[in-house]
Amino acid sequence: MKKFNFRLEKTLKIRLWTENEAKVELGRMIGELSVIEESIKENTLQRNSTAELRFSYGNLSNSDIYENYILRLNHEREGLLKKKREAEEKFEQARKLWVEAKAELKSMEDLKERRFTHYRKEALTEEEKQIEDLWRQRQD
């Protein structure tokens, strides 16, 4: 029996590579989003602790310093939230690309499987014919 040859093997490999690259990019976007979310949490903790410090000492001369620091943290938080929205959009795009690449790969793998099944069926039929021919030749 001759070896199965899938003529679209190179295309299948390209789609596999594309799907892997999309998965890596998706992972990168998840990491980026996690870093931004961690920065937002850290900013919130700093803001809360600074607000507590501002009122704990009761010293009004340092109040302006604390207030300015809190304003800077608020501004920084707004920037982080903007970055988070942008990162979420990039994540969603990367997820869509990965889903598309995965679907294309799956369709190509399904096609290969169907062609292999068809090949096996034809090969088995051919083998059965050869065996029957050999059997008939022995009978004669």
Count of structural domains, the chain: 1
Could you tell me the residue range of the domain that residue 96 belongs to? 9-103
Q: What is the pLDDT of residue 53?
A: 78
Decide if pLDDT at 57 tops 70.
Answer: no
pTM of the model: 0.76
Note whether 71 and 6 are within 8 A (CB).
Answer: no
Asked whether residue 137 is domain-assigned, the answer is: no
Asked whether residue 13 is domain-assigned, the answer is: yes
Q: What is the pLDDT of residue 66?
A: 83
Asked whether residue 87 is domain-assigned, the answer is: yes
pLDDT class of 60 with cuts at 50, 70, 90: low
Q: What is the pLDDT of residue 50?
A: 85
Asked whether residue 131 is domain-assigned, the answer is: no
Decide if pLDDT at 1 tops 90.
Answer: no
**What mean pLDDT comes out for the span 47-65?**
75
Taking Cα atoms as reference points, which of 86, 83, 116, 93 lies closest to residue 12? 116
Asked whether residue 31 is domain-assigned, the answer is: yes
Asked whether residue 99 is domain-assigned, the answer is: yes
Average pLDDT, the chain: 91
Q: What is the pLDDT of residue 105?
A: 96
21 vs 55, residue with greater confidence? 21
Interatomic CA distance for residues 70 and 44, integer angstroms: 10
Asked whether residue 1 is domain-assigned, the answer is: no
Q: Which of left, alpha, beta for 3 (phi over 0: left; psi -120 to 50: alpha)?
A: beta
Of 7-21, 24-38, 42-56, 87-101, which gets the smallest average pLDDT? 42-56
Asked whether residue 129 is domain-assigned, the answer is: no
